[in-house]
Amino acid sequence: MRRVRYEKNGGPEVLFVEEAPVPEPGPGELLVRCEAIGVTLPAVRKVREGKEPAPLGGEVAGSVVSVGPGVTGFAVGDAVTGLPFTDGYAELTVLHETMASHVPAWASPVDAVALVRSGLVARGAYAAGRVGPGESVLVTAAASAVGGLALQYARNGGASRVVAAVSDTAKAAHVRGLGADEVVGYGDSTWGEPVDLVLDGVGGELLAPAVRALAPGGRLVAFSSGGGSIDAYELLVRSASATGFRMAAVARDQPERYTRWREEQWELFRTGRLRTAVHATIPLAEAARAHALIEARANLGKVVLTP
């Protein structure tokens, strides 16, 4: 089977395709034939900025080819999605059953990778913001896979105003289509009227304007892999607060909540109240092109690889 790997950290050009043996599912594991693989900013960062090469995990959807000892919740032929610990940019990968979930028969593998993980990050960050009725919400990285779904959670949740912040206002039509009332560019001198909640998917130097966008008593939820620091004085003068949100912690520590959110999310998707945006589906062998797209900040929604 073919997989994509890298042997030294760097830009998209370090990725290469190779033949590899078919992995064996161990106890509690599923061997999955990948039909869609989601490319994420954290994976792109791992390749460029990691201290040493590590398996490209990603998020995959496909069908179960075989199951390891002790697996009870899945059978050969099941449509599944999940996060592999090992090589995920591959025709075949191994998922631990605790990291896998079923895909409804009416949904496609591309739907699954565009919706499940990104949507649960958006859902969790939105919930962490404890938004009240009629409050306003601003989302940064609003055109990313997570950001676009966060806009919709805010819209569906009854926000009085939904503001999308993007690096390039050429993304305006896209984010308006997902429910934004207003669009601001990161470099704009003002981000408009202050908001009650900021969901930040960028971090770094953008945290300063993001905190300044908060109304008195506002909350900022940091969900990015971008790091950065927050000036406590800027929080103090607004009686504002900041918190972080990490989806993996919910999946690990609150599995029942995670499962409930996931089921609710599929229902929102089935009934058209939540939409995914897929920027491009790119052949697995061209994974470097997918990474370059994300590094260039050019994507409107999810970038998907197909083996």
Using CB under 6 A as the binding rule, the residues of this chain from 71 to 130 that contact ligand NAP are 118, 121
At its nearest, how many Å lie between ligand NAP and the CB of residue 299?
5
Residue whose CB is less far from ligand NAP, 64 or 182: 182
From CA 197, how far away is CA 214, in angstroms rounded?
Answer: 7
Of 135 and 200, the one with the shorter C-beta distance to ligand NAP is 200
151 with 126: CB under 8 angstroms? no
Answer whether 200's CB lies under 8 Å from 210's CB: yes
Which of these, 82, 132, 120, lies nearest to 103 by C-alpha position? 82
Q: Both tokens of residue 226?
A: 């971008």
Identify which of residues 31 and 300 has a Cβ nearer to ligand NAP in the complex: 300
Quick one: 42 or 104, whose CB is closer to ligand NAP? Answer: 42
Amino acid at 157: G
Site membership for ligand NAP, residue 146 (CB under 6 A): yes
Q: How far is the CB of 115 from ligand NAP (least distance, A)?
A: 12
CA distance 201 to 145: 10
Q: How far is the CB of 216 from ligand NAP (least distance, A)?
A: 26
Task: Tell which positions 184-243 bind ligand NAP, by CB under 6 A.
Answer: 201-202, 223-226
Tokens at 31, concatenated: 């061997």
If one asks whether residue 40 binds ligand NAP (CB under 6 A), the answer comes out as yes
Nearest to ligand NAP of 166, 287 (CB atom)? 166
143 binds ligand NAP (CB under 6 A): yes
CB of 38 to ligand NAP, least distance (A): 8
Can you tell me the distance from the alpha carbon of 176 to that of 180, in angstroms, rounded to the nearest whole number? 4
Beta partners for residue 282, in sequence order: 305
**Residues 41-63 as b or e (16 or more Cβ within 10 Å = b):** bebbebbeeeeeeebbbbbbbbb
Q: Quick check: 57 binds ligand NAP (CB under 6 A)?
A: no
Q: How far is the CB of 93 from ligand NAP (least distance, A)?
A: 19
Q: Residue 281 — φ and ψ, nearest 5°?
A: -110, 125
Give dist(CA 136, CA 193) in Å, integer.
10
Q: Are 164 and 139 in contact (CB under 8 A)?
A: yes
Q: Is 67 in the site for ligand NAP (CB under 6 A)?
A: no
If the CB atoms of residues 92 and 250 are measured against ligand NAP, the closer one turns out to be: 250
Q: Which of residues 232-261 bind ligand NAP (CB under 6 A)?
A: 245-248
- Can you read off the two tokens belonging to residue 39? 């490319």
Closest to ligand NAP by CB, 18 vs 49, is 49
Rounded to a whole number of angstroms, the minimum distance from the CB of residue 289 to ligand NAP is: 14
How many CB atoms neighbour CB 40 within 10 A? 22
Written as six digits, the tokens of 262 are 């996931």
Interaction with ligand NAP in 276-305: which residues (CB under 6 A)? 294, 297, 299, 302
Query: How many residues of this chain interact with ligand NAP, rule: CB under 6 A?
Result: 27
Q: Footprint of ligand NAP on this chain (CB under 6 A)?
A: 40-42, 118, 121, 141, 143-146, 166-167, 171, 201-202, 223-226, 245-248, 294, 297, 299, 302
